[in-house]
Structure 1
Amino acid sequence: MDDRQFRNAMSMFATGISVITTTLDYDVHGMTANAFMSVSLNPKLVLVSIGERAKMHHYIQTTGRYAVSFLAEDQREISMTFAGQMEGQRSVEFDWFNGLPVIRDALAAISCDVVDAHKAGDHTLFIAEVSDVRLATGQPLLFYQGKYSRAHAFA
């Protein structure tokens, strides 16, 4: 199997879209990620997989903290901004949650403290303990087969 075939297979798994954020030297840093998951209920652990070449890799290693914002269906432009898919500068509004920047009006925000990191291929799995969560209402922004999508409820 070649890289393209593998990527095509992985695109068949629909995911929610999150923005991972942290702050370093008073600057906010963020990236769009769909390689995020819940790991454990007790203790409350989550994991994000970050490529070793991504700037966020260095920021999380340095700060030992990150926040996760789950994007709502009307936040596609925010996802594209943090994925580097938008031309020019875009202004993004943040709220502050437990000392970390989170995306305003996201469906949920999670503040985390890194407890472990594991190298996995060309990525690092940053496992973090959740310190707090904030919830809102709405529908999620999804990613499926390389495209943005919306959830459709079953009747």
Structure 2
Amino acid sequence: MDDRAFRNAMGQFVTGVTVITTNVGDETHGMTANAFLSVSLNPKLVLVSIGEKAKMLQKIKDAGHYAVNFLAEDQQEISMLFAGQIKDGRSVDFEWLNGMPVIPGAIGRVTCQVVNEYVVGDHTFFVGEVTGIELNDGAPLIYFQGKYRELASMNENETLLI
């Protein structure tokens, strides 16, 4: 199987869009990622997967902490900026949660202290113990088949069948 077939298959899985942020000294760094998952309730652990070629890999190693920002449906441009798809010198005025930079307007923001890291294939998994949570109203930005999407909302009279 070739890389393209694998990527196409993985694209069939709907994911949320996050921006992972950290700070090293006085510098703030961020990258768009959809490789994020909740690991454990007790202790509260989450995981992000960072590619071996990503600049963010060494930044998280150096910092020992990171924040996960769950983007809202109107934050596609923020995702594109941190994915390196917009390169026109724009900047983000970060907010701060537990001493870590977070994205304004994100529907969820979680700060984490790195407790483990694992090299798996061409990525490193950073397991973080959650140190702070902040939630905001809004719908998520999602990604499916290589495109940004919005979650279709149900009105209050609809019934979701499971």
For the criterion TM > 0.5, the same-fold answer is yes
Corresponding residue for residue 135 of structure 2: 135
**Counterpart in the other structure of 1:118:** 118
Partner of 1:46: 46
Scaled by the length of structure 1, the TM-score of the pair is 0.98
Distance in 1 between the 2:92 and 2:141 partners? 17
| One-letter amino acid of the counterpart of residue 38, structure 2 | S
Alignment of 1:56-135 (within 5 A): 56-135=56-135
Aligned to 1:8: 8
2:25 pairs with 1:21: no
Whichever of the two has the greater Rg, that structure is 2
Identity of aligned residues (%): 58
Letter in 1 for 2:7: R
- Counterpart Cα distance in 2 of 1:41 and 1:89: 39
Q: Deviations over 1:16-73 (max 9, x none)?
A: 0000000112011000000000000000000000011111000001111000100000
The structure 1 segments of at least 4 consecutive aligned residues displaced by more than 6 Å after TM superposition are none
Deviation at 1:92, TM superposition (A): 1.2
Partner SS, residue 92 of structure 1: coil
Structure 1: state its 5+ residue gaps.
none
Output the CA distance in 2 between the equivalents of 1:19 and 1:4.
Answer: 24
Structure 2 residue identity aligned to 1:104: P
SS in 2 for 1:143: strand
Distance 1:58 1:87 in 2: 22
How far apart, CA to CA, are the structure 2 residues paired with 1:116 and 1:25? 21
- Number of matched residues? 155
> Superposition RMSD on alpha carbons, in Å?
0.7
